[in-house]
Amino acid sequence: MSEQIQAIRGMNDVLPAQIGLWQQLEALLRELLGAYGYGEIRTPVVEHTELFERAIGEFTDVVEKEMYSFRDQGGESLTLRPEATAGIARAVIEHGLLRGARHKLWCMGPMFRHEKPQKGRYRQFYQCSVEAIGFPGPDVDAELIALSARLWKRLGISRLTLYLNSLGTPQSRRTYRERLVEYFRAHHDRLDEDSRRRLAGNPLRILDSKNPDLAPLIAAAPALPDYLDAESREHFAQLCASLDAMGIPYRLNPRLVRGLDYYSRTVFEWITDALGAQDAVCSGGRYDGLIEQLGGEATPAIGFAMGIERVVELMRLAGREDTEPAADVYVVVSGEGARVQGARIVEQLRDALPGRRFELNLGGGNFKAQFRRADRSRAALALILAEDELARGAAALKPLRHDGGQSECPLAELPARIEAALAADAHTKE
Ligand code: ATP
Ligand code: MG
């Protein structure tokens, strides 16, 4: 036997037995996003490396050490997207969609980051990104947060806390940054290597450090909200008032930051206590300067990205069932002649009942074996096609989920009888 080839570490298969929750989540997201007026956009999985360097910023974990970058045959440096906002911003600029227009967009798909694989942290993972472009807020900020809150409610997920902060404007942040640099310089000996590098390049990012040794130092650092400009303060107050009015609880977290200059004002994060260290489920914020920084006309925008794997895990913990959908009808075929006729009859039934799931017995087998497969398919009904009955223009139906005898049915009446039997079955289940 040849040696087996394994998947890349940190890149997972989602098997049919696990896909149910993914599909439930994706369907609900499509429904909710549509209901809030968001339209789908799909951008390439690969972009020029420079796009991410410019959009995410040099002094970030993602750009410093997590990007899957490579040179293609033409020698260009390309990168598997680590997030979707950069590509979406590029697309709206490139296709001339701005010009004062406003766009509510979402994008779902795989992202790639070279991180240390562990539970909840993968090298290929899925995100749903939601972006509102051309809206200065704070009304849209509040609506986006309400959308995410509604998603948790619809999913029955409760162990989530919303953290909020305002970053102010790049101008007001400058003073804060100076204070922060002074503070960390004074404690230079207590910083780790990453933080020392960031002190020069992007000091706000130190507040983001996951190193527990730094926690006390970070907790005592100057707080950003003390440096907010008056307009940002008002923007934030209005956001909080909207959330209060909608009954969405939140906590203020003055250490919640984004390092880059094009971020401004609102930042938020949904954190769970149910998943251990990988506790961020959905994070978002206002990126009023990004589009201009990428060469488009200055356009305010806000968005969030949600980690699908982490939400799926929360759904599982909340007791959501991950069952594959059951068949409606399992078709048992008895006799060589019935097999050929059976294929035709089932195709006709699929024409007549397009929404129903028929599982035709494939690969033969005696009656007992076929009924075992029928049970495993969890079908509500068995349709039995036997040579002698078919010769009389008839077949048999037998309920599988509750007691009930087999009954004969003329072939012409099958669609109506099957529909009636399935309706009766659904009724007894309730
Ligand atoms: P973390 O703090 O967990 O590293 P992050 O700040 O890097 O997250 P974002 O870039 O804001 O995450 O991405 C948004 C969401 O995507 C996160 O809240 C998380 O749910 C999910 N996510 C990020 N990285 C991964 C990963 N490597 N594997 C699985 N999900 C991830
Ligand atoms: Mg990360």
Of all protein residues, the one whose alpha carbon is nearest to atom 16 of ligand 1 is: 307
Candidate from 34-48, 60-74, 153-167, 252-266 with smallest mean pLDDT: 252-266
Nearest CA to ligand 1 atom 5: 280
Q: Evaluate if residue 193 carries a pLDDT over 70.
A: yes
Measured from the alpha carbon of residue 122, the closest ligand is 1
Residue 259 has pLDDT above 70, yes or no: no
pLDDT of residue 205: 86
Token pair recorded at residue 153: 């409610």
Q: Which atom of ligand 1 is nearest to the CA of 304?
A: 14
Mean pLDDT within 25-29: 97
pLDDT tens digits, residue range 302-334? 999 999 999 999 999 999 887 777 899 999 999
Question: For ligand 1, which residues put their CB under 6 angstroms from it?
Answer: 83, 113, 115, 120-122, 125, 127, 278, 280-283, 305, 307, 309-310
Ligand 2 geometric centre to CA of 50 (Å)? 19
Phi, psi of 301 (to 5 degrees): -160, 155
Gap between the terminal Cα atoms of the chain: 51
Q: Say what percent of the chain tops pLDDT 70.
A: 99
Beta bridge partners of 105: 39, 131
The preferred substitution site among 129, 278, 313 for testing ligand 1, maximizing ligand atoms within 8 Å of CB, is: 278
Which atom from ligand 1 is nearest to the alpha carbon of 127?
16
Q: How crowded is the C-beta side of 327, counted as CA atoms within 13 Å?
A: 20
**Could you tell me if 355 and 349 are in contact, meaning their C-beta atoms sit under 8 angstroms apart?**
no
Ligand number nearest CA of 129 is 1
C-alpha dist (Å) from residue 58 to 33, 46, 89 = 32, 19, 18
Which has the higher per-residue pLDDT, 106 or 101? Answer: 106
- Ligand closest to Cα of 61 equals 2
Nearest atom of ligand 1 to the alpha carbon of 282: 18
Residue 248 DSSP code: -
DSSP secondary structure letter of residue 323: P
Residue 429: pLDDT band by 50, 70, 90 thresholds?
low
d(CA 328, CA 94): 48
Measured distance CA(156)–CA(153) in Å, rounded: 5
Mutate to test the pocket of ligand 1, among 124, 125, 306 (most ligand atoms within 8 A of CB): 125
- Of the listed ligands, the closest to the CA of 68 is 1
Strands 160-166 and 266-272: antiparallel
Looking from the CA of residue 113, the nearest atom of ligand 1 is 27
pLDDT higher than 60, residue 430 = no
- CA 152, CA 341: separation in Å to the nearest integer? 49
Mutate to test the pocket of ligand 1, among 310, 312, 313 (most ligand atoms within 8 A of CB): 310
**Which residue's CA lies nearest to atom 25 of ligand 1?**
121
Higher pLDDT, 429 or 151: 151
* Average pLDDT of the segment spanning 31-44: 98
pLDDT in tens, 368-405: 999 999 999 999 999 999 999 999 999 999 999 888 78
Compute CA 263 distance to the chain's CA centroid, rounded to the nearest angstrom: 23
Distance 61 CA to ligand 2 centre (A): 7
Tokens linked to 89: 């911003």
Q: Which of 55-59, 141-145, 395-399 is predicted with the least confidence, judged by mean pLDDT? A: 55-59
Mean of the per-residue pLDDT values of the chain = 93
C-alpha of residue 391 to centroid of ligand 2, in Å? 66
pLDDT of residue 328: 95
Instruction: Kindly tell me if the per-residue pLDDT of 421 is higher than 60.
Output: yes
Bridging pattern class, strands 394-399 and 381-386: antiparallel
> Which of the ligands is closest to the CA of residue 278?
1
- Taking Cα atoms as reference points, which of 82, 74, 87, 8 lies closest to residue 41? 87
Q: Which of 121, 128, 129, 263 to mutate to test the pocket of ligand 1 (most atoms within 8 A of CB)?
A: 121
Average pLDDT on 209-231 reads 91
Note whether 369 and 332 are within 8 A (CB).
no
As given in the structure block, the two tokens for residue 414 are 């099958």
User: Ligand 2: distance of its center to the CA of 94 in Å?
Assistant: 28
Nearest CA to ligand 1 atom 22: 307
Which residue has the CA at smallest separation from atom 23 of ligand 1?
A: 307
Q: What is the pLDDT of residue 131?
A: 98
Q: How confident is the model at residue 141 (pLDDT cuts 50, 70, 90)?
A: very high
Q: Which atom of ligand 1 is nearest to the CA of 120?
A: 29
Ligand 2: distance of its center to the CA of 66 in Å?
A: 9
CA–CA separation, 378 and 429 (whole Å): 13
Four-CA torsion 404, 406, 412, 414, nearest 10 degrees: 40
pLDDT of residue 402: 83
Closest-CA residue, ligand 1 atom 24, reads 121
Whether 259 contacts 208, CB under 8 Å: yes
The best mutation among 9, 22, 127 to test binding of ligand 1, ranked by most ligand atoms within 8 Å of the C-beta, falls on 127
Sequence-distant (6+) residues with CB within 8 A of 62 are 52, 56, 82, 83, 113
- Nearest bound ligand to the CA of residue 115: 1
Of 163-177, 208-222, 301-315, highest mean pLDDT: 301-315
